[in-house]
């Protein structure tokens, strides 16, 4: 392994399995896992509670003062908003769209990217999001663009919501996902797009284990290539 810390960037659309795979990969590699979407979700929840998600000026102003804290408790990431643990609250479906909307505001991206880089500094890290390979960690050891068909992603999200006791109809989940994908890929500030040097992994027909195995192979190869340089 190289002495210089390694970083693995995992980007892709909603529901492609980024967090499941990134978490498993981080465990396999003994690295820290940072879920950057959770940070946008925490701020989305904050603006939702203020009933001001669509007020761009308020969003840009409030992101300067909002107290968002990312902590790691027994290795698991928890999100705090002004000291309140919002780790579960940010998973509510309405927070997904709010996070996507506030994340399009450049001031929000600036603050979140700075926080993300600070948290990851000097550590072996696996980070997932929309702009990790293109913006947050442009020099990442490995960049993976993880996709799956919209239908498969909606099926997975339905199962996940049902498991959490928050079931939603499939059609609704699919429509929300398509709308959020559109918003995330069409915004002006750091839109979701594969980094030029990313490896594309389509998980539509792969199990979680198969996907993690493939990603681990890619990661081990990239880390060893970086160590040889
Ligand atoms: O990964 P997620 O579904 O929890 O992310 C919620 C929203 O946050 C997503 O729709 C877009 C935004 N996001 C972003 O713009 N950049 C990131 N690095 C992560 C998430």
- pLDDT (0 to 100) of residue 11: 97
What is the CB neighbour count within 10 angstroms for residue 32?
18
Q: Which atom of ligand 1 is least distant from the CA of 11?
A: 18
Cα of 165 vs centre of ligand 1, distance in Å, is 22
Q: What's the CA gap between 2 and 202, in Å, rounded?
A: 28
Task: Let me know if residue 4 belongs to a domain.
Answer: no
pTM given for the model: 0.94
Q: What integer pLDDT is reported at residue 215 of this predicted model?
A: 98
| pLDDT of 68 | 97
Q: Is the CB of 131 under 6 A from ligand 1?
A: yes
Q: Residue 1: inside a domain, yes or no?
A: no
CATH code for position 30: 3.40.50.300
Supply 172's token pair: 């609704």
Is residue 229 a part of any domain in this protein? no
N-terminal to C-terminal alpha carbon distance within the chain: 12
9, 11, 36: residue to mutate for ligand 1 pocket, most atoms within 8 A of CB: 36
Tens of pLDDT, residue by residue, the chain (229 residues)? 447 899 999 999 988 999 999 999 999 999 999 999 999 999 999 999 999 999 999 999 999 999 999 999 988 999 999 999 999 999 988 999 999 999 999 999 999 999 999 999 999 999 999 999 999 999 999 999 999 999 999 999 999 889 988 899 999 999 999 999 999 999 999 999 999 999 999 999 999 999 999 999 999 999 999 998 8
The parent domain of residue 158 ranges over 10-224
Check if 11 has its Cβ closer than 6 Å to any atom of ligand 1: no
Residues 2 and 226 sit within 8 Å (Cβ to Cβ): yes
Domain count, the chain: 1
Whole-number pLDDT of residue 228: 87
CA–centroid distance, residue 145 to ligand 1 (Å): 14
Q: Does a structural domain hold residue 3?
A: no
- Report how far ligand 1's centroid is from the alpha carbon of 91 (Å): 12
Rounded Cα distance between 150 and 145, Å, is: 15
**C-alpha 227 to ligand 1 mean position (Å):** 31
The pLDDT, as a whole number, for residue 166 is 85
pLDDT of residue 1: 47
Nearest ligand 1 atom to the CA of 128 is 18
Residue 5 included in any domain: no
């Amino acid at each position: 392994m190289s002495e210089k810390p390694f970083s693995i960037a995992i980007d892709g659309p909603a529901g492609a399995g980024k967090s499941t795979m990134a978490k498993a990969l981080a465990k396999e590699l003994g690295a820290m896992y940072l879920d950057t979407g959770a940070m946008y979700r925490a701020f989305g929840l904050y603006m939702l509670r203020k009933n001001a998600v669509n007020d761009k000026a308020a969003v840009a102003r409030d992101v300067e003062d909002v107290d968002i804290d990312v902590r790691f408790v027994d290795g698991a990431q928890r999100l705090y908003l002004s000291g309140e643990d919002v780790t579960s609250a940010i998973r509510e479906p309405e927070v997904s769209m709010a996070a996507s909307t506030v994340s399009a505001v450049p001031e929000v991206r600036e603050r979140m990217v700075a926080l993300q880089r600070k948290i990851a500094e000097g550590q072996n890290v696996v980070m997932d999001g929309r702009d990790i390979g293109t913006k947050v960690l442009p020099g990442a050891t490995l960049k993976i663009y993880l996709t799956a068909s919209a239908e498969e992603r909606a099926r997975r999200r339905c199962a996940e919501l049902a498991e959490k006791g928050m079931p939603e109809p499939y059609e609704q989940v699919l429509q929300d996902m398509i709308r959020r994908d559109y918003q995330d890929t069409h915004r002006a500030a750091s839109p979701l797009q594969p980094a030029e040097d990313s490896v594309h992994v389509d998980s539509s027909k792969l199990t979680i284990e198969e996907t993690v195995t493939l990603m681990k192979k890619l990661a081990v190869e990239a880390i060893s290539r970086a160590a040889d340089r």
